[in-house]
Homo-oligomer: A and B are copies of this chain.
Amino acid sequence: MDEDNAARVMVRNITDLARLAGVSPGTVSRALAGKSLVNAKTRARIEALAREHGFRPNQMASGLRRQKTGVIGVVIPLGHDSRQQISDSFFMTLLGHLADELTREGYDLMLRRVVPENDADWLDRFIGSGMIDGVIVIGQSDQFDRIEDVADGYGPMVVWGNHTEGQQHCVVGTDNRLGGRLAAERLIAAGATRLAFLGDTTAIEFAARFAGAQDIAARMGLPPIITLPTHLSPDRASEEIACHLSQHTSTIDGIFAATDTLAALCLTELRDQGIAVPEAMKLVGFDDLPIARQTVPPLTTVRQDIAAGARGLVDLLLRRLAGEKTESLVLPPELMVRATA
């Protein structure tokens, strides 16, 4: 009878539970929050009741009162290539690791994709919503300036991307320029002399990779590296690569692809056009995604440590939430030599 009643009574808020427990709402709040100021017996009783009724404090109300939500925003700006970038394996893997790290730290993750051209103040909007305690931006895309604008008015923001000398915002990312150097060095060591860069250099990370490769080409006295711009979505990229190859195949003997995904597509096209890799064409990718080990032949590539990146992003963000003023974190790339160069 008593239990029937207990199960029947709807407990919608802390006040209902307080009535049931015969205490004040304040006490229930303190008990459920695990504060030390409440008597052990009372706490036990309250916890039992809460469990019995499946009651959980409303996070919205709690967030409102405490002025913090326990939610970290993760935003992916689809700037220079608005379609399908989110399905890019690299970003997705990073996102997975972020989810892990944030969960471990007791935060929830609010994901938002935005198309900056459609909506100029995507970042302020997210931050100003009051729903998130801090924000992680995945990829600078072509939004460097806007991010920079926001950075000095808003502390708890960390960005995945490229580090530029003297920038305001706190960034975590691989040393893309160094990665580009490693790639070019490898291509040249493998015997290539006329290089091409496959990818859209509008994206700042890609531009840095290209610049690094160009450093080496220049130092070695090779002709300038030509760029073969592509989109990132697999279908469009395929065509574009095919087109590039048929035009330049006789004038180049080494390709540095901005991404393993592009490299893999390129490899497929090369095979279709009967160009032997690595004999007639050397190829190096970037990222070291799982696919790099599965291509035929396996892809030589520059590795980014995604897990370390995610850890860095979360770590820095938490420090910033605690009020610390943090420096950027630049991770070292690592050359993975396999069979394409």
Contacts and interface: CB of A to CB of B under 8 A. Distances in A.
Interface of A: 54-61, 63-64, 69, 71, 84, 86-87, 89, 92-93, 95-97, 99-100, 103, 108-113, 121, 124-125, 128-131, 234, 264-265, 267-268, 271, 290-291, 293-296
A290 B234 contact: yes
Nearest to A94: B87
A215 B136 CA distance: 49
Contacts of A103: 112-113
B131 A56 contact: no
A63 B64 CA distance: 10
A160 to B, nearest CB: 16
A60 B294 contact: no
Contacts of A128: 54-56
Contacts of A59: 129-131
Given A58-B64, A265-B294, A291-B294, 11 more contacts: A57-B130, A59-B130, A60-B63, A60-B64, A92-B92, A92-B95, A99-B112, A110-B111, A264-B294, A267-B294, A271-B296
In the assembly, how many copies of this chain are there? 2
Given A71-B110, A294-B265, A131 B60 contact: yes
A111 B108 CA distance: 7
Contacts of A92: 87, 89, 92-93, 95-96
11 contacts: A54-B124, A60-B63, A60-B130, A61-B130, A86-B96, A89-B92, A92-B95, A109-B110, A111-B111, A271-B296, A294-B295
Contacts of A108: 110-112, 131
Nearest to A57: B130
A65 to B, nearest CB: 9
Given A56-B129, A87-B92, A268-B294, A100 B112 contact: no
